[in-house]
């Protein structure tokens, strides 16, 4: 894929292929295996010869292709086939007719209404309805994707990339809308704030899930202005370890968290997706143990015993422990070496050796993290969830554990182990000394006396919040670009070696040629092998990053108040770089819906809460005047530390309750819109479902009916009573006949009142 | 009112008045003032003479009476007037016709449906509908009460007892169903467990609010079996202050709390009241600042600025501090005297003086509590809530603070002040010594050396969980009985003095006489003057009591593990005594609906959580082996104490999350019923609202339509394309015309596959 410059800076007229998608909704990238047995499975092929002699891989691919086109046609998708690269086809899909699309949209909107996502049922006048509520691009693409991938039993084509019958389907992706993307990138890169309007546009093109991400980034950015400004002020005036900064910072994180929870609901309502998380997409990999008939709906439901799942979920505990042990020992090991080298060791090669821990970390950390992530995924698969959402949430939970250890453990070690206990622990580092002596020629190594370095904590924070962020950003945005460019060059070179000229191989019609080349490029973009839905996970990882930042901010920013400033810049760049990633360097994402930022929400809450504990502990430990003789906290009282932590935590929880209460009582446009919709829907339903007289009585404002009824009823009853009383009246009948109608009751009552009143008066006097 | 024995033990035939209510739904107790000016307002009367010379109080009462009967008649209530006691009338009400009742029921059920309380709209065939879902007594009584009390603008008679125009209306109450009550009491008093069936009966007669209370009592009783048995075992084997007991007890309280939250939802669904708390009854005392037109519904809404309310709510903080100071100083004062007297003082009159603190507490505590409760009520009124529910919840919150201090502060003092710091603090008690010396004749008082009494804590717990419970029960059940009997005797005596014979005064018809006497009795039952809805508050207070017990259990039972046994017995009796109260010694309650046990739920959660802290602290402080030289915790490390509390709390929170997760994944009959209803409703709505073809496509199971549509559409498109291509085709049209239909796409695709596969093979070899 070309760089941004080459795509968007050039004159529009120059690259007409970016201006049209030829009406294509989706492209299926279809892989073609070589004709004949695969060489490395010769024995396997021999073995297979008995059972299936003629079916070579290519033949299978061909048969599967036929099934694919038929399946797609059967659900109403038009197809065009073109050459892909040397070993693949491109199958272009579009929904065959407007009517079919509208039918699909209507159907899903009715489903939404039934699940309570939409307040009102779609209008029966379809033409008028679609004029009022048109279909946006994201909705169309989502429905077409569902049409392609849903099981046949649910009316889809049942195409599941890379699985079973469809193993030759490499990917199914929508084509980028480059006209919009260009506008989108331009908008974002020239603005400080992403505006409401931009987010709505994102929603229309990329779906609510991605729109939520940008909305969150935007809110976070706006909120970051405060800790950036306040942090700068605190840095100037209050210095490090200020309890005032800690309190304000904690308060800020509570307010932000509660604000976002409200905002989230608001956006969901505005976008009409409130509650869509209830409409769950089944996970195709779900393994069921038995099929049970639902006592309610009579449908056959695949069941996996929840107790069995619970047992497997318990494996998370050993998993977390293993993560802590594995990552923890690596971190502690490097930490120990580093301390030894930088603060104790004074021998030869010191200037090179200090880089040793960084090298070890850089080499082993990603490897270990990858292994553990794979492990987390296996564990999640083992837990065997019914729906994609619960699967993803469970995976994110495990990722959070890994992330947490990698991101925060080093700082925890410095703050709560190295500084307070450094003097006690450093002697144990003699083991390195002994090791070093082995390698030294004269068997003797210079060492200096150990001093706890109180500046280490600040340096570490600056490393994590500035240096690491920059490095990370570079790695994230430049490495993939280089990788892709190299890969593409290699591929093209190969192709050229084979055929001399690319164009002649593809044999494209002139007017399509540029477009097809563009699609071939898009097909190559970021096709991760990890899971089918990796593209979605990307957004989750971005959330992880943001969450990490928020974590540093609430957990440790009291050490270095400028953290907020750093993240303000970082956040601005991050949002733009993510936009680039989505618009250019990745395949266009499937525009899924969502009604929140998902499982990260609870992680953010957790970090914010933990921040109240760590901030209190750090302030207590380090903000002491006078310092000990070595400028360090020396006379720390354990109970006082714990008491301040305990106090801070409960203060935090109390404040959270109060803020939650206050925010829940604020009105908001989303909530108001929902109320309006529900009210309108109720009114409509009432009019439709009930007869007029009942509507009147149910509306209740002018309730005139009963009075007449009563008078009549009373007269009728009185008449009937007089008839029956002429016969034999029961005591009950007699009781109610003493006063016939209200008039008589009034008359008799008045008599009784004046009698009684008189009697009391007489007696009192 | 007669005692239980006299009401229910006698032969049925003897007391026919208990077998019929003469079809009466409600009775209005109407007060008659003496004729003429009230004596104590003579100056006022003189002043009034200018404006309203002829209107004496009695005349006003008469006019108001006429308005009352007219208002009642206008909403369809039949009335009969009878003499009450010497200074009152009894107005008997029944709904005038079955049709009106059904109309009302239908209307409210439609409202329920609109608010999502009922899953399905009432059937349009009214006769059939009421056959399937008949009206139970509680529903009828509730609707009639609403008819009487709702404002005229909402279709009611607008009768608000004791307020404004209706100040002569002393009370509005339904008549007891004594046939049922007898059966109910008999059931309960002969059973260990209140069964599901009994609770459903309670619901049908007394409404869901009271049914919820009994359901809660029943669940609590069943759950208490465990701590009773385990506590007994722990008492035998583990002794006091066992950490194992503390953990099990905490775990139990979490499980019970989470179980009940689930059960509550379950019951609400079964009773069809899930979500009724959303249908709020407006509070008639609500003061609005301005009327605003609702932007959504166009209705006029009375508004009180929430920020202003928030300001007033902040007064709760000083209120809580005042409560703590006032009650706290009384408690500390008595506590100090008691310690001085029992453990230091050894002078004359010791055997009498030891009762001094108890006397002081017994005299001042109820007085102070009453004052503070009144204050809490005023504060709640000041907070000016729109709805009855929020008003009540706010009041309960304040009551909880008072209750908490009264119930638990003494034990907190003993456990966390007296025992650890006793030796330090007791010297300050010398002030009593000096005081005592003043009164002593010889100016000298014997004292003994102070020793912290480690048994005091246990004794105190036993006092609170056994002695106080028994005393409380006796006060609650016997005192009102005595009071009532005395009052009635006095009243009758007065009456007799005046008229010689009651019967002759009342001048009742023979066949009604016994019934009217019974109603006169019921009218006298527990007419508290505090608030209009005191009858409801009774249930709240019962909850408070139960909550208090649960509090002792989770906070302090580690001190004396037999607490569970004590409460098991107590709970059994309490439930029966409450049943008696509801059925006999109080007016029949208005059968309100409810979907939970209300604001006490969060108090229970709070107590359970707090239990994890106190239990850990108590175990840590007292479970030490070896004890200090005086058998007391001497070498307590502050940090270790705080660490164990911190650890216990977070363990508790973690376990809570796990248990919540597990319980939320269990299926339950209520949830299943709800699912079934929603499913049925959805299906029905779909069929009603949408045309057949759309139903088919939305049902989605046999999705055959699109294929045909597609084929047609494709052919049509192809035809159109060929027409247009004969003219000037756009590149887009050309793109989609290269392969006409799926068949051609398949053909060309197969060709491409075999070519490509061949090419790869050739190249690879």
**3 state DSSP class of B146:** helix
Average pLDDT rounded to a whole number, residues B515-544: 59
Question: Using an 8 Å Cβ cutoff, are B508 and B516 in contact?
Answer: yes
Predicted confidence at residue A553, as pLDDT, reads: 86
Predicted confidence at residue A670, as pLDDT, reads: 75
Number of CB atoms found within 10 A of residue A309's CB: 18
Q: From residue B365, how far is each of B370, B548, B551 by CA, in Å?
A: 8, 17, 20
**Which of B79, B675, B682 shows the shortest C-beta gap to A745?**
B79
Interface test with B, best of A695, A757, A761 (most B CBs within 10 A): A757
Question: Using an 8 Å Cβ cutoff, are A93 and A25 in contact?
Answer: yes
Predicted confidence at residue B651, as pLDDT, reads: 92
The β-bridge partners of A282 are: A387
Higher pLDDT, B210 or B727: B210
Confidence check: pLDDT of B616 > 50: yes
Predicted confidence at residue A736, as pLDDT, reads: 80
Tell me if B76 and A698 make a contact (CB, 8 A cut-off): no
What pTM was computed for the model?
Answer: 0.80
Which residues does chain A have within 8 Å of residue B511's beta carbon, measured at their own beta carbons? Answer: 731, 734
Q: Which residues of chain A have pLDDT under 50?
A: 1-5, 9-13, 37-51, 53-54, 500-504, 527-538, 626-632, 691-709
Average pLDDT rounded to a whole number, residues B268-294: 81
**Which of B36, B736, B746 shows the shortest C-beta gap to A23?**
B736
Predicted confidence at residue B672, as pLDDT, reads: 76
Predicted confidence at residue B141, as pLDDT, reads: 92
Which residues does chain A have within 8 Å of residue B269's beta carbon, measured at their own beta carbons? Answer: none
Residues 6 or more apart in contact with residue A637 via CB below 8 angstroms = B638, B639
Number of CB atoms found within 10 A of residue B170's CB: 19
What is the pairing mode between strands A290-293 and A77-83?
Answer: unpaired
Tell me if B754 and A58 make a contact (CB, 8 A cut-off): yes
- Could you tell me the pLDDT band of residue B717, with boundaries at 50, 70 and 90? low
Residues B348-387 have pLDDT tens digits of: 777 788 788 888 888 888 888 888 988 998 999 999 888 8
Tell me if B75 and A714 make a contact (CB, 8 A cut-off): no
- Closest CA–CA distance from residue A686 to any residue of chain B (Å): 8
Tell me if A706 and B735 make a contact (CB, 8 A cut-off): no
Tell me if B97 and A713 make a contact (CB, 8 A cut-off): yes
Task: Using CA coordinates, name the residue in chain A closest to B155.
Answer: A703
The residue among B662, B666, B647 whose CA lies nearest residue B250 is B647
Tell me if A645 and B646 make a contact (CB, 8 A cut-off): yes
| pLDDT over 90, % of chain B | 9
Which residues does chain A have within 8 Å of residue B757's beta carbon, measured at their own beta carbons? Answer: 32-35, 58, 61
- Residue showing tokens 């003629």: A54
- Closest CA–CA distance from residue B351 to any residue of chain A (Å): 43
Tell me if A717 and B97 make a contact (CB, 8 A cut-off): yes
Residues 6 or more apart in contact with residue B605 via CB below 8 angstroms = B257
Higher pLDDT, A148 or B85: A148
Cα–Cα distance measured from residue A727 to residue A742, given in angstroms and rounded to the nearest whole number? 24
pLDDT averaged over chain B? 78
Phi/psi at A77 (nearest 5 deg)? -110, 130
Predicted confidence at residue A709, as pLDDT, reads: 45
Q: From residue B690, how far is each of A126, B244, B699 by CA, in Å?
A: 11, 62, 11
**Which of B79, B155, B698 shows the shortest C-beta gap to A703?**
B155
The residue among B640, B642, B648 whose CA lies nearest residue B616 is B648
Burial class (CB in 10 A: 0-12, 13-18, 19+), A544: buried
- Could you tell me the pLDDT band of residue B703, with boundaries at 50, 70 and 90? very low
Which residues does chain B have within 8 Å of residue A645's beta carbon, measured at their own beta carbons? Answer: 646
Q: Is the peptide bond prior to A735 cis by the omega test (within 30 degrees of 0)?
A: no
Tokens at A412, concatenated: 């925890």
Q: What does the buried/exposed string (b/e) look like for A477-501 if buried means 16 or more CB atoms within 10 Å of the residue's CB?
A: eeebbeebeeeeeeeeeebeeeeee
| pLDDT over 70, % of chain B | 79
Q: From residue A113, how far is each of A136, A272, A572, B695 by CA, in Å?
A: 18, 10, 38, 13
- Could you tell me the pLDDT band of residue B416, with boundaries at 50, 70 and 90? confident
CA dihedral A8, A10, A12, A17 (to 10 degrees): -70
Residues B418-463 have pLDDT tens digits of: 887 877 877 777 777 777 676 665 556 666 677 777 788 888 888 8
Predicted confidence at residue A40, as pLDDT, reads: 45
Task: Using CA coordinates, name the residue in chain A closest to B750.
Answer: A62
Element (H, E) at A25: none
**Which of B100, B697, B731 shows the shortest C-beta gap to A709?**
B100
- Residue showing tokens 């009214």: B126
DSSP B561-580: TTHHHHHHHHHHHHHHHHHH
- Per-residue HEC secondary structure of B148-186 comes to HHCCHHHCCCCCCCCCHHHCCEEEEEECCCHHHHHHHHH
**Which of B697, B735, B750 shows the shortest C-beta gap to A65?**
B750
The β-bridge partners of B78 are: B94
Tell me if B86 and A61 make a contact (CB, 8 A cut-off): no
Confidence check: pLDDT of B101 > 70: yes
Q: From residue B83, how far is each of A750, B92, B319, B362, B505 by CA, in Å?
A: 11, 11, 46, 42, 9
DSSP A358-385: HHHHHHHHHHHHHHHHHHHHHHHHHH--
Q: How high is the ipTM of this complex?
A: 0.77
Cα–Cα distance measured from residue A143 to residue A592, given in angstroms and rounded to the nearest whole number? 10
Alpha helices, H only, A525-637: 534-556, 563-580, 600-622
- Closest CA–CA distance from residue B354 to any residue of chain A (Å): 38
């Amino acid at each position: 894929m070309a760089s941004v410059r080459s795509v968007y800076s050039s004159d529009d007229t120059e690259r007409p292929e970016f201006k049209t998608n030829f009406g294509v909704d989706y492209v299926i990238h279809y892989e073609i295996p070589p004709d004949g047995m695969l060489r490395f499975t010769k024995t396997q092929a021999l073995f297979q010869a008995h059972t299936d002699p003629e079916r070579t891989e290519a033949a299978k691919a061909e048969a599967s292709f036929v099934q694919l086109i038929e399946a797609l046609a059967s659900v109403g998708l038009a197809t065009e086939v073109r050459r892909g690269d040397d070993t693949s086809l491109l199958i272009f899909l579009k929904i065959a007719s407007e009517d079919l699309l509208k039918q699909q949209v209507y159907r899903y909107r009715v489903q939404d209404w039934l699940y309570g996502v939409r307040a009102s049922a779609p209008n029966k006048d379809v033409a008028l309805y679609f004029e009022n509520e048109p279909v946006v691009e994201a909705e169309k693409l989502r429905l077409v994707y569902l049409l392609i991938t849903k099981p046949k039993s649910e009316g889809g084509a049942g195409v599941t990339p890379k699985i079973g019958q469809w193993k030759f389907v490499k990917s199914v992706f929508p084509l980028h809308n480059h006209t919009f993307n260009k506008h989108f990138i331009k908008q974002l890169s020239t603005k400080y704030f992403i505006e409401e309007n931009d987010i709505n546009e994102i929603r229309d093109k990329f779906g609510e899930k991605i729109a939520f991400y940008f909305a969150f980034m935007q809110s976070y950015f706006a909120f970051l202005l405060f800790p950036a400004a306040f942090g700068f002020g605190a840095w100037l005036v209050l210095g490090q370890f200020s309890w005032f900064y800690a309190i304000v910072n904690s308060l800020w994180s509570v307010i932000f968290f509660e604000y976002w929870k409200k905002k989230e609901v608001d956006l969901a309502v505005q976008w009409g997706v409130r509650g869509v998380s209830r409409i769950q997409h089944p996970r195709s990999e779900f393994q069921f143990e038995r099929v049970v008939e639902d006592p309610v709906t009579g449908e056959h439901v695949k069941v996996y015993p929840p107790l069995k799942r619970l047992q497997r979920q318990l494996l998370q505990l050993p998993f977390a422990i293993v993560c802590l042990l594995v990552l923890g020992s690596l971190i502690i090991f490097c930490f120990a070496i580093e301390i030894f080298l930088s603060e104790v060791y004074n021998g030869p090669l010191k200037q090179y050796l200090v880089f040793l821990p960084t090298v070890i970390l850089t080499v082993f950390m990603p490897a270990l993290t990858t292994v553990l992530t794979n492990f987390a995924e296996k564990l999640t698969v083992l837990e065997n969830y019914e729906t994609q959402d619960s699967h993803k949430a469970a995976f994110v939970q495990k990722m959070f554990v890994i992330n947490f250890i990698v991101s925060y453990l080093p700082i925890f070690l410095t703050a709560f182990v190295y500084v307070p206990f450094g003097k006690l622990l450093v002697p144990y580092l003699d083991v390195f000394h002994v090791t070093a002596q082995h390698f030294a020629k004269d068997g003797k190594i210079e060492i200096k006396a150990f001093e706890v370095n109180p500046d280490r904590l600040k340096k570490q924070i600056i490393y994590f919040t500035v240096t690491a962020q920059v490095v990370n950003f570079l790695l994230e945005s430049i490495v993939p670009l280089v990788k892709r460019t190299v890969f593409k060059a290699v591929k093209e070179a190969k192709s050229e070696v084979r055929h001399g000229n690319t164009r002649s191989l593809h044999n494209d019609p002139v007017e399509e040629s540029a477009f097809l080349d563009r699609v071939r490029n898009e097909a190559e973009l970021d096709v991760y092998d990890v899971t089918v839905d990796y593209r979605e996970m990307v957004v989750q990882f971005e959330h992880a990053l943001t969450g990490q930042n928020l974590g540093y901010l609430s957990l440790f920013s009291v050490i270095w108040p400028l953290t907020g400033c750093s993240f303000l810049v970082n956040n601005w760049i991050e949002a733009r770089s993510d936009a680039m990633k989505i618009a250019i360097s990745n395949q266009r994402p499937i525009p899924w819906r969502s009604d929140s930022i998902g499982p990260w929400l609870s992680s953010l809450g957790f970090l914010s809460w933990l921040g109240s504990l760590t901030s209190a502990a750090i302030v207590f430990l380090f903000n002491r005047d006078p310092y000990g003789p070595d400028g360090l906290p020396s006379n720390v009282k354990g109970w006082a530390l714990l008491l301040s932590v305990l106090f801070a935590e409960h203060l935090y929880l109390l404040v959270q309750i109060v803020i939650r209460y206050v925010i829940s009582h604020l009105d908001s446009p989303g909530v108001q819109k929902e109320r309006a919709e529900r009210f309108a829907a109720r009114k409509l339903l009432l009019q439709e479902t009930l007869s007029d007289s009942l509507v009147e009585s149910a509306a209740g404002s002018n309730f005139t009916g009963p009075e007449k009824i009563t008078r009549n009823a009373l007269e009728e009853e009185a008449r009937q009573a007089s008839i029956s009383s002429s016969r034999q009246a029961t005591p009950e009948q007699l009781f109610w006949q003493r006063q016939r109608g209200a008039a008589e009751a009034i008359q008799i009552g008045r008599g009784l009142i004046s009698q009684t009143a008189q009697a009391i008066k007489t007696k009192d006097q």
